Amino acid sequence: MRVCCLAKVTGKVQGVYFRASTQEQAIDLSISGYAKNLSDGSVEVLACGERENVDKLTQWLAQGSEHAEVENVEVKEVEWQDFNHFSIG
């Protein structure tokens, strides 16, 4: 089953290779969508793909990249959106 989930990741997640690491994980899991910095210092991630793979990515977000310090991940399911790839915004 294909799903899209929107996640907001807070903590030390900007300037620590978080978005690029998220992109690498997403590509490995055949997930499309994006990761972008928000003005409040958090990162927004839209992940669309097979539910099992989206779940794996959202679990990975809780740990994040090597130098990230993730404090919280809020995830909600959203309407399906077609993307051709996973981009960094």
Active site positions, annotated: 19, 37
CB-based burial of residue 9 (10 Å sphere; 0-12 exposed, 13-18 middle, 19+ buried)? buried
Instruction: Report the candidate in 86, 88, 89 with the shortest Cα–Cα distance to residue 4.
Output: 86
